[in-house]
Structure 1
Amino acid sequence: MNRGRARQTIFHDSQYFQAFLATLAEAHARFDCIIHAYCLMSNHYHLLIETPKANLGRVMRHINGVYTQRHNKLKRTDGPLFRGRYKAILVEKGAYLLQLSRYIHRNPIEMANPMVEDLAKYPWSSYPAYIGETEPQDWLTRDFTYDMLGHRYKYKQYKAYVLRGNDAEIADFYSKVKTAAVLSSDDFKHALKGSVLANASEKVVVKQLQPELTISDVVNAVARFYHCPISQITSVIKGPSKGFEGRKVAMYFCQELLDARLADMALFFGLGHGGSVSFITHQIRKRRNDDKQFAKRLSDIFEHIMKQVT
C-alpha cells in the first residue's frame, strides 16, 4: 500500500486510475507478479500481490515510479508523488489472504463518508470483477480466492462474504497505530526461519521477499551460464564479439531483479549513461516477447541466477 504525500490526491479522474491500472498490467507482464486484488482510493491504494520470483522491490519500484511519471505528465507537474516507500505486509496464503481480499474491497465504504453505497458501483477496485459485474482485467487472479470459499456459486458467495463485514481480527490488525509486518498464524511465523519474523520489522520482512543479489552476482551467474569470462560481460567489446547476447542478458536481469539505479549499472558495464542500459534492456524484452525459444532461455537463466540465494 502507499499514500500520497501529505495525503494529497493521487487519482484525480478516470485518466489517472486507468494510468495506474496500465502500470499494474506492465508489472504483471514484466515481473511475473500475481495480482489477487486491488483497490484504488483518491489518495492511496491497496494491492494484494504475490511475487514468485522474490522481486517485490523491483515490482514496487516500477509501480510507484512509473505511475509517478504518468501522474506528473497528466497533471503537468513534477516531483515526488508518494509519502515515501510502500508499506509491505507479509500475508499467510490461506484464510488470511481471503480476509485481506475482503478488507481491501471494503475500503470504499469503510470510511466516515463512504464513497459509494453499493460496493459493486465502485469501478476502481477488483470487487466488481469478483462478483461478475464487470469483465476482469487479464492480469487479475481470482481462482485462488474462489477456491478458498469452497462454494459452487462463486460470484454470489464472494459477494455475501464481503458484505458480511471485516473479520474482527483484521479490523484490530489495521486499527493499530503501528501496523505489524506479518499477518498470519503463529505456526506460519515460526515456520519462517524459526521465530525470526514473529515480531519482525517491515524492513526484515521485505528482505525475506526479495533476493540477496548484487550486480556482481547476476553477472557472475550469467557468465557461468554462457561459459564465458566475466570480462566479456562487463567490458565494451568491439569486433566479432560486439553485441554479445550474454552481456545484454546480464543487463536485463540486473534491471529486472535488482533495485539498482541505471547510472550504477551503466558504470558497472562501462557505458556512458543510463539511457544505454535502458535501450539494451528494451531490446531484450522485445526479443523475449517475439521469440519463444529465447524466452525459454531467459527462464533457464533466471533459475540459474536464483540458485545463488537458495
Structure 2
Amino acid sequence: MARPLRIQYEGAVYHVTCRGNEKKTIFKDDYDKNIFLESLSDGLKTYTIILYCYVLMDNHFHLLLETPLSNLSEFMRWFNITYTSHYNRRHKRSGHLYQGRFKSILVEKESYLHILSRYIHLNPIRTKQHEMASLPEKKKYLRNYTWSSLLGYKNESQKDIFIDYAKVLEAYGGENREGRKLYWEAISHDLSMGISIKEKVIGGSILGSDTFLRWIRDRFLPEKSREIPAVKRLRKYTTKEEIIEALCKEMGKGFDEIKKEHGIIRQIAMDLLYRVGGLKGTEIGRMMGIDYSTVSQGRKRLREKLKRDKSLAKTIKKIEMDLSF
C-alpha cells in the first residue's frame, strides 16, 4: 500500500485520525482512555504540539492539532508506539493495535479551524445508537460525553490543561462566557441542520480555500514528484477559480451569464468543475443554482455530444491545456 501524502511545514494544522485494527476497540475501559490522554499530554510537551480538540471513541480517535516545529510524523510515531505498548502490556496481547498508519488532513487554519472543531466534537452522536435519537437527547449526550474536549469549550471549570481553547473561541467572541455560549449554540445548530466537511476535502488530503490549495500545490507538490500516487491525486485538482477564468476567457462570457444558460457551455462548465476541479455534483449544483441531478444529466448529455462533435472536443481540450500545470 502506498504511503499517505504528508505535507509538513512549521505551523501546519491537521485533523488526525487513527482506527483500531479490523475496526476493533482500542480502549477497553476508562483506565485505558486516561492513560491515552496522559501519554498525549506528555507528547504534546515533548514535541511542542498545540492541541485544539480531541474526541475518543471505542475504536478510534480524532485530534485537531498544530505543529510549530513541522514534526507531525515524528510525534505520531512516538505517540502511537507509546500507547500501543501500554495497551499490549495491560491486555497481554501483541501486534498492531491500529489499522495501518494514522490518517491526516492538512487544514487551512484561518478558514476551517473553528468549523472543523465543531465537526469533530459531534462525532460521539454519529453512531447507529444515536441515529433515531431526538435533538434534546443528542444535546444531553454531548453535554455529558466525558472523552471529548467539548466539555472544556462549554464550561471553563471542565477545561483540560493541555488544550488551547483560545484560538477556536476567537471566532465566537473569545475565551469567555459569551464565547463559550456562542460555541455551544453553533454546536446545537449543527446538530439540527448538519455540518458539511467531508465533501470539501480535496484529494482526501487538504481542507482549505482555493488560494490555500494553490499555495500548497505550488510550494509542496513539485513536478518531479508527480508520479507519487498521492501527489498525482492532489495535483489533478485545479481550483474552481482557475477553471471558471479559463472557461470564461475561451467562451467570451462572464460566469453569471454562463450559469443562466441551459445549453452546451453550461454543460462544459459542469463537466470541467467535476473532472478537473474535483467538485461533487452537489457542490457544482450550489454554484450553478441548480439541482445536483441536473449536473449529472448535463454531463451525460455532453458525453453524447462529444461522440459526434469533434470541434467541441477540441474546445474542451484547449481549455484543459490552458489549465495544465
* Equivalent-residue separation in structure 1 for 2:28 and 2:77 (angstroms): 22
Query: For 1:16-66, what per-residue CA distance to the aligned partner results, in whole angstroms no more than 9, with x for missing partners?
Result: 110110111111110000000000000000000100100001110111110
Per the normalisation by structure 1, the TM-score is 0.59
Coordinate RMSD, CA, aligned: 2.7
Deviations 1:114-164 (A, max 9, x none): 397320100001000111165322111010001122366022111111121
Change (3 A) 1:171 1:203: closer
Write the distance in 1 (CA, Å) between the matches of 2:156 and 2:27. 23
Query: Does residue 125 in structure 1 map to residue 186 in structure 2?
Result: no
Kindly report which structure 2 residues correspond to 1:207-246, keeping only aligned pairs within 5 A, or say none. none
Point out the structure with max Rg over C-alpha: 2
- Identify the match of residue 77 of structure 1 among 81, 93, 100: 93
Aligned counterpart in structure 1 of residue 211 of structure 2, from 187, 206, 209: 187
Are the structure 2 counterparts of residues 47 and 142 from structure 1 closer, same or farther at C-alpha, using a change threshold of 3 Å? same
Amino acid in the other structure paired with 1:140: I
Counting helix residues as a fraction of each chain, which structure ranks higher? 2
Identity in percent: 33
Cα offset, 1:204, TM superposition: 5.4
**8 Å Cα contact 1:94-1:148 kept in structure 2:** no
What is the aligned length?
A: 201
Alignment of 1:141-290 (within 5 A): 141-150=164-173, 153-165=178-190, 168-173=195-200, 180-194=204-218
SS at match of 1:38: strand
Distance 2:124 2:65 in 1: 20
- Structure 2 residue ranges without an equivalent (≥5): 1-16, 132-136, 233-325
CA gap of 1:202–1:9, structure 2 versus 1, over 3 A, is farther
Equivalent in the alignment of 2:55: 39
- TM-score, length-normalised on structure 2? 0.57
CA contact (8 A) 1:9 1:43 kept: yes
Contact preservation (8 Å) 1:173, 1:180:
no
* SS across alignment from 1:194: helix
SS in 2 for 1:2: strand
User: Residues of 2 paired with 1:170 and 1:66: CA distance?
Assistant: 31
* Paired letter, 2:62: H
